[in-house]
Amino acid sequence: MKKRILRYLKHIGLTILVLLAIGVVILLKENGAVHYGDNPLMRNLDGEGPYLFYENDTTLSVNYIRGNKEEGFYVDQQLYPADSTFSLTCPFPLDGSSFDMVIKAKHEIPPDIFEDDQPILAISDIESGYRTFRDFLIHQQVIDVDLHWTFGKGHLVLVGDFVDRGYSTTQVLWFIYRLEQEAAKHGGKVHYLLGNHELKNMQGKFESNSPKYFGVAAILGKQIHHLLDANSFLGRWMASKNTIALINGHLFVHGGLHPDLATTEVSLSEINAINRANYYLPYFPTREKDAAQLLLSNHTGICWYRGYFREDLTQEQVDAPLDKYNAQAVVVGHTIQSKVKRSFAGRVIGIDVSHPKDYHKKWPHKSSEGLLIKGGKYYRLLHDGEREEI
């Protein structure tokens, strides 16, 4: 009897080990990871902010959350003229740091095309990881340890999905806002291109939001869709951003370019205008199969398309929209890669990797990567400041 029970337990143990091994293989093959080790500071809301909202056409409210669950929360609010310029601080509780930025009333729509001989550094899909984002830029000498711009007249391209799935969305967005100001002082440029998760937040789809932000909205006396809507300062700032840019002969877009785009008559500025007009309108297909639907669809749209990595495309299909816009290559995020790499004869560069998170750990450990385009060469950038030509 004992032998039979031991034999039975042995078979169960071996079966479990085999299933675990298969699971690990699948996890690694799909670039997945196991989440563990949550830092309790992710639930700290004391000092969270700032959150800026237009009270009316002339007044802007600045709000910070104070307090805790034990003693209760309250909102520290100050009012400013909507057209004024003033400085604010954004704290980061994980390491006790903070940074300042100057709030300016006007949000300008950026150009679609840039042409110079300056280097380009691109990174995507940070997904609310402020510390990861900040430290990567420091190691790659885009900024120094005091967060001052050191990239000269270079282009920093942020290829979408800098929100959701993390606890530092507010810090990431204000950091980008600050980076724009820092770069401008030195003749550099920051290009924040919206991805599908920015659109989700603007369109009221919050399934990927951290639970933290439901609490933040409640304390502020708002619903979560108010945090980035057209009545919020950051919402209006994001609504001024593009979804595609041509920089030094390279297209940057979060998802990709569907081959059918080559058969349309839309220019880059029209692509951006169509997307911008729909930033706050959730997409649902209609019977009209026009260029707008091709660009906005959550299957074929430029912020959503995964065809380079999920479809059996020919080189000709990849080339057609690139040739239409006189681009050497397209740089995309959205679809996770094992590392930054080039494909389709070097004309597609995928830069979405699984970045580390601020407030929890992953197994296997993930490290940030980015892309540098300089002097006609392409470099895979590593989290520690190293680079290798690709």
Q: What is the pLDDT along the chain (390 residues), one digit of tens a residue?
A: 677 777 776 777 777 766 655 654 554 555 566 666 788 888 899 999 999 999 999 999 999 999 999 999 999 999 999 999 999 999 999 999 999 999 999 999 999 999 999 999 999 999 999 999 999 999 999 999 999 999 999 999 999 999 999 999 999 999 999 999 999 999 999 999 999 999 999 999 999 999 999 999 999 999 999 999 999 999 999 999 999 999 999 999 999 999 999 999 999 999 999 999 999 999 999 888 899 999 999 999 999 999 999 999 999 999 999 999 999 999 999 999 999 999 999 999 999 999 999 987 776 767 999 999 999 999 999 999 999 999
pLDDT of residue 30: 58
Record the tokens describing residue 151, joined without a space.
């990239």
Which residues does 204 contact at the CB level (< 8 Å), separation at least 6?
Answer: 225, 282
pLDDT of residue 366: 76
Helix, strand, or coil here: 130? helix
Tallying the residues shown for the chain, one arrives at: 390
Neighbour count for residue 216 (Cβ, 10 Å): 22
* Token pair 């599908």 in the structure block, residue: 196
> How far apart (Å, rounded) are the C-alpha atoms in residues 253 and 255?
6
> How far apart (Å, rounded) are the C-alpha atoms in residues 21 and 288?
48
Record the tokens describing residue 178, joined without a space.
């600050």
pTM of the model: 0.92
